[in-house]
Amino acid sequence: MSYSTIPWPTFADLKQMLHGFWASKPTYTESQYPDLQDKVVIVTGGNTGLGYETVKSLAGSTKARIYVFSRNKEKTLAAIKQIQLEIAEEYNVSNSDIRFIQVDLSDLTTIKPAVEEFLKQEQRIDIIIHNAGIMGPPVGSKSKQGYELQWGTNVVGPHLLQRLLDPLFIKTSETNPPGFSRIVWVSSTAHLFAPQGGVFWDNVNYENLKLSQTQVRTTLYAQSKAGNLIQARTWSRKHNYPNVISSSLCPGYLYTDLIRNLNSFEQCFVKRLIYPRRYGAYTELYAAFSPDVKDGAHTIGFGVPSHARTDLTSEAVGDKTWAYLDKETDAYL
């Protein structure tokens, strides 16, 4: 089976790649965030890494009810407790409303029960931040339903979660001012290394190809992040709710738990070039709040407008990816 082509980067693509190493400090921070009184925000993977910092910044600077959707109950409850301690010290805020919903995005059977549990507690959703994701697991790792683990966890699972949340999210958006309701899809500058059209449809799992494990691992992550970017650009076109802004972002080159699967040499190299994870939270919340963010936009660290690779912006690419994801998740609605 032939190997799918990865387009050569343009000058603008190269500039985006290099930006991550020499990004300016965040300028859109807590003092500019909306109050969010009585509003509801969901952050997937909010118990660790970038998600932890995003929840912490939200809890310390807004009055939102925050739901952390994550897999491990014990670790998440401990993380929420620690966040409460830290925001009391750093923001002088006590009793922020942070709640836990258990879900495993790599197992589609867990997602509908999670949403049902959420709907027992809430009658609105204002902002959804699809933050959870994995990078670089051992080649051959699979999700519960047999997808390559990054594709299943980063793309298929969030697609089903969004579909199940859509009815309440859309209903809420109709009561909000234009642009207030938002879906934030955490992609990556790594999308520039994805196959032509974003996905290698002949072999989505990249199995039995004559490539090194490093090539396979890198390209699979890039493919999953291209998937997130395509989801962000396609959601509004498929739903036609003008009050909503759906956008993607690269949070920046950050020191988070995502690098745990890199080998020791890779970790040593990467650690010299990356930024504190809190900066990435500012990128996510820029996408969630800034009036400068438009529907379908792509933001890079740490709150800088950028672009998607050209071949990923066509409606045909969006339609094909969306149809595939709908088909794969129909049975779990």
Q: Which residues are catalytic?
A: 187, 221, 225
What is the four-CA torsion angle of 82, 300, 298, 79, rounded to 10 degrees?
-10
Q: Given CA atoms 87, 179, 181, 279 in this order, what sign does their dihedral have?
A: negative
Is the CB of residue 168 less than 8 Å from the CB of residue 125?
A: yes
Collapsed DSSP state (helix, strand, coil) of residue 331: helix
Q: Is 240 left (phi over 0), alpha (psi -120 to 50) or beta?
A: left
d(CA 300, CA 303): 6
Which residue in 155, 156, 208, 157 sits closest to 186, CA to CA? Answer: 155
Strands (DSSP E) found in the chain? 40-44, 65-70, 98-102, 127-130, 181-186, 244-249, 298-300, 304-305
d(CA 39, CA 60): 15
Q: Name the β-bridge partners of 300.
A: 304
Q: How many CA atoms lie within 13 A of 166 on its CB side?
A: 15
Q: Name the β-bridge partners of 245.
A: 182
d(CA 307, CA 139): 29
d(CA 22, CA 18): 7
Is the CB of residue 227 less than 8 Å from the CB of residue 151?
A: yes
